[in-house]
Amino acid sequence: MTVKEKIVKKSIAVIEKRLAAIKQIQDARPLSKIIELHQQAKAIVDEHDKDYQTIADLIKPLANEEKKQRLLMKKQQNMKLWDEQFKLESELQELKHELFTINMKKGIRK
pLDDT digits (tens, 9 = 90+) for 28-81: 999 999 999 999 999 999 999 889 999 999 999 999 999 999 999 999 888 999
Is pLDDT at 18 greater than 60 in this prediction?
yes
Tell me, what's the pLDDT at 1? 77
pLDDT confidence of residue 107: 81
Domain ranges for the chain:
3-109
- Collapsed DSSP state (helix, strand, coil) of residue 110: coil
Cα separation, 2 vs 6, whole angstroms: 6
Alpha carbon separation from 61 to 9, 37, 55 (Å, rounded): 42, 10, 11
> How confident is the prediction for the chain on average, in pLDDT?
93
